[in-house]
Amino acid sequence: MSNKNDNWLYIISPKKKLIDLNLKEIWYYRDLLILFVKRNVITVYKQTILGPLWYFIQPLFTSIIFTLIFNNMANIPTGEGVPSFLFNLAGITSWNYFKECLTGTSNTFAQNQGLFGKVYFPRVIVPLSVVLTNLVKYAIQLLVFIGFYIYYVFFSETLVTAKPQSAIVFLPILIIIMGFLGLGLGMIISSMTTKYRDLKFLISFGVQLLMYGSAVMYPLSYFKEKLPNISWVVEYNPMTTIIEAFRYMTLGVGDFSLVKMLYTTLICILIFLIGLIVFNKTEKSFIDTI
Amino acid sequence: MEKDIILKVENLSKQYRLGLVGTGTLGHDLNRWWSRIRGKEDPYLKIGESNDRSTKGNSDYVWALKDINFEVKQGEVLGIIGKNGAGKSTLLKILSKVTGPTTGEIKTKGRIASLLEVGTGFHPEMTGKENVFLNGAILGMTKMEIQSKMDEIVKFSGCERYIDTPVKRYSSGMTVRLAFAVAAHLDPDILVIDEVLAVGDAEFQKKAIGKMQDISNSDGRTVLFVSHNMAAVKSLCSRAIVLQHGTTIFEGDTHDAVDFYLKSDVANDIAHYVNETPESGSDILEVSMRDKNNNITGLFGFDDQITLQVKLRITEDILEYGSLGFRIKDKNERTVFSSEINLNEFVKKDGVYFSNIEFPKSVLLPNDYRVIIGYHVPNKKKIRSLFDVINFRIEETGTIFHKYKGVDFGCVVLDCKWSMIAD
């Protein structure tokens, strides 16, 4: 009897391991991942007239409003030779990517209850598909950003001295880090909400508050100058570093140092790992508690 | 012999917590976590009761499944039967990895695919074709596999014309057809099927059951089939297990299992009534449904003998004009038939009597029925009326109608005189 145990294909048992990420299985389900991404992208704006144009409209209008209120009215400086509209667009685009990753993954279990209750597939496929979907959106929005950049440099009368820095080669890494942070936080929140619904309320206004603490519509240096006592809240927020770094890479303004990047990367990876562990623990039995 | 075993379930148990998830949950969670870091056993695993819904237990934890053991051989079609709440669905969920077991293991040598419900993950905004890809991928097929079976799937569903139209424009029947078509073309080593799959109109059901039969009969395919339909179990399965309150109470040949299920006291709690506060004069003392061996049961096969037994006390004053009657109602509150007797035709002396009422055989079709009993002096005095005390069910054990589902054939089948004469 005992020598037979070796040739079982797999064993279903109560979960004990901390991280039980079956990469082979995820690879097997890669088609599903792609189909989910496709579904997410094409179904969002089905039966709308403007269709994918909505991807552009939302960040554009937010940037215009931000420019009017924070720069024209409240006179927040955006740096020498950097149009405040471009400054805001850079911040909003990146912030949106993080925000959508976070909110999109944070209701993984609640939203897919019906599906998860009936069929098995590696659950992590769903949050992954959300992040990939947002990556597509982000890419489209980056195009808009580049478009306006070109417009300001070549066709605008205002003097634009903003220049992309050589550090821009690290942009893909920055995007990956941002995705990891959103995914990690989202997985933690989605796992916790299966049992304790309290977090659902936190996330809706928490994300909004977090935006004000992430240097989206103001430069970190200005915040430090005005509110030196509480500036550490913004300074040690990993999203601040990411957004500042993004603006430094593309516009040449902002706070960028290797030490801070390293710190942020570590934090993001840590949060991602915690998210993975919590998600992993939840996925096997959440259907009983949700 | 042993080499043939493809699936092995060992001491499988699943515990559920009853009641609301509330503030107490956090306390229990912390307690659990505390005993785990001290290396002790989960304190809540020791408690827990068997999952008998009808009695109120004193523990918040119940075992939906307790120490289930069975083996399935390569190519075998195993039926899993039991009444609602016996643990069938929980077992299916664990087998299909939707939820994990509390203790115990399932070992398998093949890929398990389960059809607990068709059409999971269908997106109304996407076209039929896109949904076939998505649904197939969710069920574990690769894009290549789906591509190669696409024509077959579309043909089976009978939705050729609508295949490039968003699913939200489909009739509900078409959606189900398409969904079933995808599911039916899965190709795993072990297939877990829930009987509720047979959906749609009569024509499509025939097709669906036929397809399931094909799947089950094809070489080397191992199937676990869960059903309430005893006729389907009998025709598809070679072996069956019977579950009750989360434990296996029978395992063996399908015919024996079906008989055991019907004969066991699985459902006798609804088929027996004892009047705990009888009047001192005339009254009904006890009512029960009996099978041919005079055992109490609420489950009958279609061609079983069904007897309603009423124990009553008859006093002098009502001997002459008193009568006892009953009505059989179906679950839609329609009265199926009634019957009544005048007591003086049967008894001449006061006393306590057992009245045995044998129903005509093979007349009531498979369904749930309710018995209403009246003991009275017509138009003068009600002695006792019993409304909601006795229920019984007739199981499908092979009527001519067993191949259809969801079609209303009424409640009784009558022995009509058929003939065929060549022109």
Task: Nearest chain A residue to B16 by CA: give it.
Answer: A288
> Inter-chain contact B100–A12, Cβ cutoff 8 Å?
yes
**Could you tell me if B39 lies within 8 Å of chain A, comparing CB atoms?**
no
**Residue of A46, A117, A289 with shortest CB distance to B98:** A117
Which carries the bigger pLDDT value, residue A54 or residue B196?
A54
Chain B residues touching A110 at Cβ < 8 A: none
> Inter-chain contact A46–B125, Cβ cutoff 8 Å?
yes
- pLDDT under 50 in chain B at which residues? 1-2, 266-267
Asked if residue B322 lies in contact with residue B366, where contact means CB atoms within 8 angstroms, the answer is no
Which whole-number Å values give the CA distances from B280 to B77, B270, B311, B312, B381, in the listed order?
Answer: 57, 26, 14, 11, 16
Kindly indicate whether the ipTM for this predicted assembly is greater than 0.90, answering yes or no: no
d(CA A269, CA B51): 44
**Residue of B93, B105, B137 with shortest CB distance to A35:** B137
Angle CA B23–B25–B28, to nearest 5: 125
Statement: residue A4 has pLDDT above 50:
no
Asked if residue B208 lies in contact with residue B200, where contact means CB atoms within 8 angstroms, the answer is yes
pLDDT in tens, A118-134: 888 888 899 999 999 99
> Inter-chain contact B26–A196, Cβ cutoff 8 Å?
yes
What is residue B40's predicted lDDT score, i.e. its pLDDT? 64
**Could you tell me if B36 lies within 8 Å of chain A, comparing CB atoms?**
no
Statement: residue A3 has pLDDT above 60:
no
Domain spans of chain A?
2-289
What is residue A77's predicted lDDT score, i.e. its pLDDT? 84
Question: Residue A80 has which token pair?
Answer: 């020498």
Q: Which CATH class is domain B2-111+188-263?
A: alpha beta
Chain A residues touching B117 at Cβ < 8 A: 118
Q: Under DSSP, is residue A172 helix (H, G, I), strand (E, B) or coil? A: helix
Task: Nearest chain A residue to B36 by CA: give it.
Answer: A16
Task: Nearest chain B residue to A118 by CA: give it.
Answer: B116
Angle CA B89–B94–B95, to nearest 5: 95
pLDDT in tens, B10-64: 888 888 776 655 555 666 767 767 776 676 666 666 665 565 555 555 566 778 8
Domain spans of chain B?
2-111+188-263, 267-395
Fold assignment, B267-395: Coagulation Factor XIII; Chain A, domain 1 (2.70.50)
Calculate the CA dihedral of residues B176, B181, B185, B186 and round it to 10 degrees: -10
> Inter-chain contact A119–B116, Cβ cutoff 8 Å?
yes
Mean pLDDT of the A200-228 span: 86
Mean pLDDT of the A71-97 span: 87
Residue showing tokens 């004990």 = A16
Q: Which of A11, A27, A30, A32 to mutate to test the interface with B (most CBs of B within 10 A)?
A: A32
Q: Under DSSP, is residue B227 helix (H, G, I), strand (E, B) or coil? A: coil
What is residue A127's predicted lDDT score, i.e. its pLDDT? 92
Calculate the CA dihedral of residues B148, B152, B158, B160 and round it to 10 degrees: 40
What is residue B24's predicted lDDT score, i.e. its pLDDT? 54
Cα B399 off chain centre by: 17
* CB–CB contacts below 8 A, A to B: 102
> Inter-chain contact B121–A289, Cβ cutoff 8 Å?
no
Asked if residue B371 lies in contact with residue B287, where contact means CB atoms within 8 angstroms, the answer is yes
Which residues 6+ apart lie within 8 Å of A143 measured at CB? none
What is residue A1's predicted lDDT score, i.e. its pLDDT? 39
